[in-house]
Amino acid sequence: MLFCTKLATMDSIKLHDKHFTPFISAQEIDNAVKKVAQDIETDLKGEQPLFIGILNGSFMFVADFVRHYKDNCEVSFVKLSSYQGTSSTGKIKELVGLQENIEGRTVVILEDIIDTGNTLKEIYQIFKDKKVKTLKIATLFFKPEVFKKDLKIDYIGLSIPNKFIVGYGLDYDGLGRNLSDIYQLKTPN
Ligand code: IMP
Ligand code: MG
């Protein structure tokens, strides 16, 4: 796991009503992406994994990740969408877009960020009965101060403080995904 240092040289930006300050450079992000890709490549030697990116936030991470992953692999994307279950079960998440038969496969989930872990819990729930050979979880960003769940995360790119971030696929109300660097929400102190 790598830790990030503050960026002071770039300009602040405004998205909708909020201001964001530079936080993690594109170079630092790339170092973290490369490290995760190489660690997974080492661990999965001899396998032909299926990487599944969780949209929308993971699109940039996945694109760069697979360029650093040199062994044979397959890549797919899914969306987690909410729908109303029965009155007793309430809101349920389902996977949209998975075409592949993943039974018996080595599957690695690629997430942009794990915050509370609620999404991760849904992912584990959804994959529980899919009969995969192995399920691994990789996330580019992780907020350890917020994550209180007893769920395994196999690979973490960068651990960050509990601040809202944008850039490199991550958005604030739709904006900011196209930024190459990561910015964090400006707070009064
Ligand atoms: P969770 O709280 O771990 O379930 O994270 C849910 C989702 O919230 C993530 O997949 C992101 O899409 C989004 N998210 C969490 N933290 C941030 C952030 O700091 N910036 C932008 N999106 C975030
Ligand atoms: Mg996400």
pLDDT digits (tens, 9 = 90+) for 101-123: 899 999 999 999 999 999 999 99
* 118: preceding bond cis by omega (within 30 degrees): no
Q: Which of 17, 30, 43, 115 is catalytic?
A: 115
Closest by alpha carbon to 171, among 129, 113, 127, 106?
Answer: 113
In this prediction, residue 88 carries a pLDDT of 59
Q: What is the mean pLDDT of residues 80-96?
A: 70
Average pLDDT, the chain: 91
**Closest approach atom of ligand 1 to CA 112:** 10
Q: Answer whether 177's CB lies under 8 Å from 169's CB.
A: yes
Q: How far is the CA of 149 from the centre of ligand 1 (A)?
A: 15
| pTM for the predicted model, two decimal places | 0.92
Pocket of ligand 1 (CB under 6 A): 57, 112-120, 164-166, 170
Q: What is the mean pLDDT of residues 13-39?
A: 97
